[in-house]
Structure 1
Amino acid sequence: MQPEEFADVLAGNDDYAARFALAGLEPVAARGLAVVTCMDSRIEPLDMLGLKPGDAKIMRNAGARVTTDVLRTLALATHLLGVTRIMVVAHTKCKMASATSDEVVAAIEQSSGIDVRSLDFQLIRDQKATLAEDVQKIRSWPFLPPGVPVGGFLYDVDTGRLTQLA
């Protein structure tokens, strides 16, 4: 029995499974790359970088923020999964870089009635400065192998271009 709320995506999975070709793919990053980016639907990390499944480890969250969980995951990726370089990719027109905390809280409360004032949404005042800070968090994380290259990039959602900023 398929719940009606998920019928469309389960049908899509049936099609995917019928043509599934990734069996046997190694769990390591074949191109040695980890990418931390935003959950924004306008970003297609593999296509954006000319990669294919298995080439990179992709971590996504609101605002492409380097959180404790991202750092934990990068430690595992660099020591166990073949990652030898890391990209942090923010993007233009990011809601996390244009909304205030009050606006986010009000929008959520208005749509759901839930009080979310206790949550830290890690909003971004200055996108370039925040990107540089997040890149530095990774570079100074003591649980990564020394000398792992880390770069900070901005993806333009209107052109598809990537620019290195940090």
Structure 2
Amino acid sequence: MIIHHTDCGLTHATNEKIRHILKQRLPEDPTIDTLEFGEIKNLEMSVLEDMQFLRNSPLVRADLVIKGYLYDLETGRLTEVNGDALSR
């Protein structure tokens, strides 16, 4: 089961912002400019991407049911994200 929630901190972060913070903490590390952190611009799509990642993983049994949900922090509502179109 994958659950992402509304107002997630990663929806407010960009690669640029994260790199800036890392450079402040590790100014001598030359690899920071090459790092990508997978910005979340669409919560539903990020759930679908995580579901696809698990379905494609050789470490996850093919018969395992993978479900994805969005949790709304304001209403407490849990909404299933339809991942039926995703294939292995």
> Please, what TM-score do these two structures have when normalized by structure 2?
0.69
Residue 159 (str. 1) matches residue 75 (str. 2)? yes
Aligned to 2:55: 139
Match for residue 108 of structure 1 among 16, 22, 43:
22
- Which amino acid in 1 is paired with 2:13? A
Q: Distance in 2 between matches of 1:101 and 1:91?
A: 20
Match for residue 126 of structure 1 among 38, 42, 65:
42
- Which amino acid in 2 is paired with 1:109? K
The share of aligned pairs that are identical, in percent, is 32
116-125 or 148-157: which moved more? 116-125
Q: Distance in 2 between matches of 1:133 and 1:113?
A: 30
Q: Where does structure 1 lack aligned partners over 5 or more consecutive residues?
A: 1-86
Match for residue 65 of structure 2 among 149, 152, 162:
149
- Which amino acid in 2 is paired with 1:138? L
Number of equivalenced pairs: 79
Aligned to 2:6: 92
**Structure 1 residues 107 and 144, CA gap change in structure 2 (3 angstroms):** closer
> Please, what TM-score do these two structures have when normalized by structure 1?
0.41
Report the secondary structure of 1:153's partner residue: strand
C-alpha contact 2:43 2:70 (8 A) present in aligned 1: no
